Structure formats: structure tokens, C-alpha cells
Structure 1
Amino acid sequence: MKKTSIPKISPTEKTIPQKKVLRHRTSVGFPLLWAFVGFLCTFAPMRIFADEAASLFQQGNQQYQAGQYAEAAATYEEILALGKENWQVYYNLGNAYFKLRQHGKAILNYERALQRNRRSEDVRFNLDLANLAITDHIPEPPRSLIVVWIDAALNVFSLQQVALFGLIFWVLMFLGLTANLIAGNRSWQRLGRRVAWGAGAAGLLFALIFATLLYRQRTERYGIVLQKRVIVHSAPDAEATEAFILHEGAKFQLQEESGQWARVRLADGKVGWLRREAVEAI
């Protein structure tokens, strides 16, 4: 796939290369044509849908190059409205918002990009850069070394990548078992058993990682403050005692929702209630 680079945000920031979706033409023999008519009728709208998103992505990159950051952000948002979510769109959207000095939305979209691509150094770099621009720097309590290692291991791959690797290993295990059963040569049978055992162990490991990540995703929800200044109360009531104040870009764990209120927990252990309209979930 051919790639061209888009300009950097600043000398210290990074951007992803502009990507193009290439159209591929294939010729199908006449006897097979009618067999694929139903498939093509379904596939054609999907192809048009994908081409539209790719065209918008290129348009957003061109607007960003021209310094039209508000227009670029609107174009990237339009791609997401089409249901085309990937880390590149979220990342470029974060870059556009960073240029507009909307640091809350920039951090929100960098976090969403990081969820979909854990290993991207560019995303982590720009996320750290955006966090330096906000008011609240909430310290995290010290963690044991083993907890840090486990957390780092779980965050190497995204949920989708773990599922893909797990599927590959289960397929390899099946192939190894098949070779063990049908191969006439004993050396091939031994190789099949070894492949089955190794792939089965790896598949089980990735299944456990997948279950852990899925549990975290469903139980540990995080959000970002989008308003300039938000009062956090001790209860879901505007008349309740003021617990503390958060500013744009602050990250929190979303624990509970009650009407227009959300109960949040900070990394340092502080807990309180704030207006749901002031924040957005990652």
C-alpha cells in the first residue's frame, strides 16, 4: 500500500502517514458470475461506504495540512459517524483538537487511539505531550513491581489483536492434531503432537489474556473531563458539599451513573460526583 507523509504538528509532535485505500479489480469467469451476484449486491454498498470513509480521511488530512484544524476535526468526526472507527482516525482527530487547544478532546481521542493500538509510540508520545498541557496532574499510588509487569504484559496487545492471535494458535493446534491422526509417517505424527501441545498452551494463554482484557473493558470504564472547570460534589446533588475541582483533560475512572450525575474515582483515590455533561467516556 502506498503511503505519503502528512506534516508534523510541531517539531516535537508526531503524526501518522496519510493512507489511501486502493481499489482492486478481479475478473470472474462467466460461469461463476451468477454465483456471485448475490454477494456482489451486498458487497457493493459496503465498498462504496468504505470508499467514502477513505475519501473523507484524505480530505481531513488535506485540511490539516492547510491549517484548517476545525474543518479537519469535523471531517474526522464525520468518518466516526459513519461507523468507521480505527486508531488512525482517532489519532488524527486528537492532533486536530490539540492544534485547536481543546486538550480535553485531544486526550480523549488519543486514549481511544491507544485502546486500539497499544504499541503505537506516536500515540503515547502525543498523549504524554497533551497531558503536559493540562492543569491537573494526579499522582498514582506506588505499585509493586509484579503488578507493573503484569499490567505491562496485558497492555502489549489490544483486545482484537489478542483474539486474532488466540484464533491462530487454536487453528495450529487443530492442524497439529489432524497431522497426528492422519499422517502415515511417525516423524510427522510426533511433529503434529508437538505443534498441538505448543499451540494449545499458547492458545490457552491468549484465551486467559482475552478474558482478562474483556473483563477490564466491561468493568473498568474511564473518562475525560471536557469542560474547563468542573466542581466535584460529595453526592449527586448540586447542593451537596464540594469535594474537589477538576479541570479539562483530567482522567478518571467512571464508577457509577445516576441520572445526570456520574460517580468518579481518581488515580489518587479521591471519589466524588460530577455532572455527566461535563465529561465523556473513553
Structure 2
Amino acid sequence: MIKNIEFFRPKSSGFRCNATQLIFAFVVLFVAFVSHAQTPEQLFETGNSQYAQNNYEEAIKNYEKVLDAGYESAAVYYNLANANYKLNRIAPSIYNYEKALQLKPNDQEIKNNLEFAQNMTVDAITPLPQNIFKKWYRAVLGLFSVDGWAVLTVALLGLFTLSFLFYYFIASTSLKRTLFTVSFLALGLGLLSLTLAFQSQSEKRNRIFAVIFSPEAEIKNAPNLAGESSFVLHEGTKVRVLEQDVNWAMIQLADGKEGWIPVSDIKLL
């Protein structure tokens, strides 16, 4: 006859774990966890040390942990891009240089390294020509990020307020003229900066870009596998996303070509 399995049961006179002991044990475990967990700053510095030792794989892991913790900066994306570039990973390096450039649009070092990474791409795309006024507009709009234009607007309007107050209270006629001119220019430039801030925000919202991560992506003329192939793109190529559903995205190249690509083949910037 098979007997019922009997589990060991401690006697009631044995050790009892009360609430105080449980709280104490929890506190000890929590302190141990916190003491071993690295802050994003420490992870970043660890990544930098590993990068200096040519340990690029581990450096990438630590930089990605910083981003996973919800912290981002141009420096993190830039170093992550550099580590991927050292490993000849085209798409991740270009993607992270682009992310760094979004946060620091005027950083020449990021632009230079991005250009080096783009030289590794297969696709040669000639952008459509732009008129001189559109080039100037793009150049001015790209001087600052949305936050940069917002900060500049606040600073200029603050200068206008101070200049106007001094103008109102100071008795000197010559100084009044100077302060009136300064306040007028600050107000005009502040309003222009505010306009550019809204334009930059609109551009950011309406102009969505992505980087192709697939080694080779077949661009279709319709959002389905049965669609005809229009052209082929390769990893690292930057594209503009015009529309997107769950599985497909309609993209546009700098030369004006358009087509559909599986969402799994791209990573949005």
C-alpha cells in the first residue's frame, strides 16, 4: 500500500519569526541591494572605464543600463555610438549619434563622428536640391533644440522686462533712449524666438525619422508582403516616416523616393 507523503512540521516550541524580525530582515536585504546597485552616474563612469580598456561590449551594456534607468544625455548617446562604431555596428552607431545630435544640435564633434559612421553605409542617396531661403530657414531652425529656443525666449523676454522697468524709472534721457532700444530689440527677438520654438516643436512632431536596422530591407509599393519591390535599402540609412501602422511604415528618402517597409526593420529616432 502506498502511504501518504508526510511533510516535516516544526514543533510549536521552535523558532518563531515575529513582525520585528521580518522588518529587520527586509531592511538588511534592502540596504544590501542598494549598496550593490550602481547609480546611472556610476554606470556611466564604469562604461567609460571599460571603453578606455577597449572592452566595448561591456561599455555598451552599461550605457544602455543608464538609458534603461530613464536617464538620457548627449554624452551617453555619443559614447554608446562610439562603442558601437568601434565594433563596426553601423545602424546602432548612426542611431545613437543621431539621438545625441537631437540633444546637442550644434555639437561639431557629434556631427563629424556621424559623418564617419555614415561613410560605412551602402546606400548613396542624393538629397533633393533646396532653394537658398529654405536652406537658411533650416540652418536657423537647427541652431537650437526646442528646449534651447524656449530658454532663449525666456531670456530675451526677461531682458525686455528689465530694460523696460529701468527705462520707466531712470531719469536720464540718453540712457532712456538706450534702454528703449534694448527693450524693443529684446521684445522683437523674443517673439521671433518664440515663433521658432513653436516651429521647431511642429517640425519635431511632424517630421519623424528612423534608422534602418535590417542588413537589407526590401521596400514595397504597398503595405503587405505581396506588394511589388520598389527598391532595396541597407542598415544605417536614415529615412523619414510619413505614416505607420502596426506592421508597416511608409518612408521617404532624402531624394524623394517613397515606399513601405516592415516596422521591425527600422528604429524610430
TM exceeds 0.5? yes
Equivalent position of 2:138 in the other structure? 151
In the alignment of these two chains, the number of paired residues is 233
Equivalent position of 1:170 in the other structure? 157
Q: After TM superposition, give the deviation of residue 195 of structure 1 in Å.
A: 2.3
| Partner of residue 121 from structure 1, selected from 99, 108, 119 | 108
- 1:84 counterpart = 2:71: yes
Q: After TM superposition, give the deviation of residue 279 of structure 1 in Å.
A: 0.5
Q: After TM superposition, give the deviation of residue 149 of structure 1 in Å.
A: 2.0
The two structures, once aligned, show a CA RMSD in angstroms of 1.7
Tell me if structure 2 keeps the 8 A contact 1:141–1:268: yes
Mapped to 1, the partners of 2:176 and 2:267 lie a distance apart of 55
Mapped to 2, the partners of 1:175 and 1:191 lie a distance apart of 13
- Give the aligned residue type for 1:258: D
Equivalent position of 2:249 in the other structure? 262
Task: Encode CA deviations 1:181-207: one digit per residue, 9 max, x unaligned.
Answer: 333444444343222111101101211
Task: Encode CA deviations 1:134-193: one digit per residue, 9 max, x unaligned.
Answer: 111211112222222221122122222221111100001111122223334444443432
Equivalent position of 1:195 in the other structure? 182
Mapped to 1, the partners of 2:82 and 2:234 lie a distance apart of 20
- Give the aligned residue type for 2:261: L
Tell me if structure 2 keeps the 8 A contact 1:178–1:192: no
Spell out the pairing of 1:214-225 with structure 2 (5 A cutoff): 214-225=201-212
- Give the aligned residue type for 1:146: F
Mapped to 2, the partners of 1:151 and 1:217 lie a distance apart of 13
Tell me if structure 2 keeps the 8 A contact 1:176–1:191: no
Spell out the pairing of 1:36-185 with structure 2 (5 A cutoff): 52-185=39-172
Task: Encode CA deviations 1:95-154: one digit per residue, 9 max, x unaligned.
Answer: 011112211010011011111112211111111101111111211112222222221122
Percent identity over paired residues: 30
Mapped to 2, the partners of 1:196 and 1:145 lie a distance apart of 31
State TM-score, norm by structure 2.
0.82
| Partner of residue 276 from structure 1, selected from 250, 258, 263 | 263
Tell me if structure 2 keeps the 8 A contact 1:236–1:258: no
Mapped to 1, the partners of 2:175 and 2:255 lie a distance apart of 57
Structure 2: unaligned runs, 5 residues or longer: 1-37
Q: After TM superposition, give the deviation of residue 222 of structure 1 in Å.
A: 0.5
